[in-house]
Amino acid sequence: MKGKKPVLTVFSLTMITIGSVDSLRNLPATALFGSQLIVFFIFGALFFLLPTALVSAELSSAWPKQGGVYIWVKEAFGKRVGFLAIWLQWIENVIWYPTILSFVAGTVGYLINPSLAENAYFLWGVIVASFWGATILNLRGMQMSALFSSVCAISGLLLPMTLIILLGLVWVVAGNTAHIHLTWDSIMPHWGDQSMWVSLTAIMLSLCGIEIATVHANDVEDPQHAFPRSLAYSVVIILATLILGSLTIATVLPQNEINLVAGIMQAFDAFFARYHLTGLMPVIAVMLVLGGLGGVNNWIIAPTKGLLVAAEDDNLPTSFRKVNQYGAPSWMLIGQAVIVTIISSLFLFMPSVNGSYWALTALAAQLYMFMYFLLLLAGLKLRISEPDKHRPFHIPGGLMGVVTVVLVGLFGVVMTFIVSFIPPEGIDVGSTWHYEVLLLASFLIMCLPPFVATWMASIKKNV
């Protein structure tokens, strides 16, 4: 029927969800924690991934307007808190870009000369060049951007993820040396070991992003039944790929040799050297680079458009509302690229590349957890204040069901925020005092702009 709203299948919705969350970028960071990562991933799914997905799906089905997090939190707590929420989602991505692009730079450097993966100046140069390239691509509009993302998703994520897991299985079955052991004692975390809780930082960050996929909850037929099915399939696939991929790296590489920006290449190098296939390394490098660039390209515009909605609601000066002839928010994209260039310089000042990567990972996790804190509370507030609002998908169990889901999610979010301040063992981040002060100061500075913008707007209004 002409004009009928497009309907996604459960399969399509599952693929969108997996594509929004699943990634190779954090596998080396999670591999550091060996077989104990299995329990932490399950913890992350139960206390973070599922609650945030359910709340995001309910909110997006009831308020499907462009703007996502900004619209949802604004409806619950007002324009100022809504602006803070979308700012946190945007600035978290700005912090995250150097980490995934350091993965790209480490891959390129490792292929040329493995020592380059530890060269801070090389990493910084590639990160900056790559991000400005992606920015220019998105300034040309969504058509070119979407085509590039589709190519990258297949060649840079699905194929190398499947390949590294299969190589890991072959490695174990063939009886090669394994640097971890899957026994009950090794899998169960040592809860008294404070350093083990640090793994939650990398694991929770690797599960972030599902709120982007849930905006499609209204596009699937019978969302009340289809979305839970899609969510169940997605969670199983995401957990399976992330756990198996991390375990593969932990199996083939000693813990103290895992490089956070080049760990994937290290693992492929070990596999191919064992099976005399080193000639395939350039092919793998190209695939991983495409995957990393595709990941940045997927995210470079979505949070920026959400921030644009907030800017159009008088939260930012009028110059930030400008779009070019292709409909891209040009000032925001260019400003974002400038900030990424500055933040990437952390690689030049931290005592090690792994330390720089981890500091950015921890800061990104803190900012994202604060946003999810506001998101979960918004879900609860709106179920109480607007119980009669039509929700094509709603969390089962009535108000008690929502309260339970939100409390479970808040527990995971707060726990992750706290442990992100603990410096990891085996990674040179400087002194504990220096690390914690750097993180706290960076977190407060990154949260400050929305309050400054609100203050300036109130002054302007009273003049």
In a domain, 3, yes or no: no
Mean pLDDT, rounded, for 312-321 = 79
Q: Which stretches does DSSP call E strand in 150-266? A: none
Residue span of the structural domain in which 276 resides:
10-462
Distance CA 361, CA 355 (A): 10
Q: What is the pTM of this model?
A: 0.82
The answer to whether 26 touches 241, Cβ cutoff 8 Å, is: no
Q: How many residues does the chain have?
A: 463
pLDDT top residue among 342 and 351: 342
Contact of 419 with 372, CB cutoff 8 Å: no
Work out the mean pLDDT of the chain and round it to a whole number: 83
> Distance between CA 261 and CA 110 in Å, rounded?
10
- Tally the domains of the chain: 1
Phi, psi for 189 (deg, rounded to 5)? -65, 150
* pLDDT at residue number 143: 54
Q: Which of 238, 302, 224 is nearest to 10 (CA)?
A: 224
Name the least confident of 155-169, 233-247, 285-299, 438-452.
285-299
b/e per residue 191-224 (b: at least 16 CB within 10 A): eeeeebbbbbbbbbbbbbbbbbbbbbbbbbeebe
Residue 5 domain flag: no
CATH at 373: 1.20.1740.10
Q: What is the pLDDT of residue 399?
A: 94
Residue pair 253/179 in contact by the 8 Å Cβ criterion: yes
- Domain membership of residue 1 (yes or no) is no
> CB count, 10 Å around CB of 460?
10
For 162-216, what is each residue's pLDDT tens digit? 899 999 999 989 888 888 887 877 787 766 666 667 777 888 888 888 887 665 6
DSSP three-state, residue 271: helix
Find which of 107-111, 293-297, 424-428 is predicted with most confidence, using mean pLDDT: 107-111
* pLDDT value of position 76: 96
Is residue 212, in this structure, part of any structural domain at all?
Answer: yes
Provide the pLDDT for residue 2: 46
* Residue 303 maps to a domain: yes
Is residue 359 within 8 Å of residue 423, measured between CB atoms?
no
Q: Which amino acid is at 234?
A: S
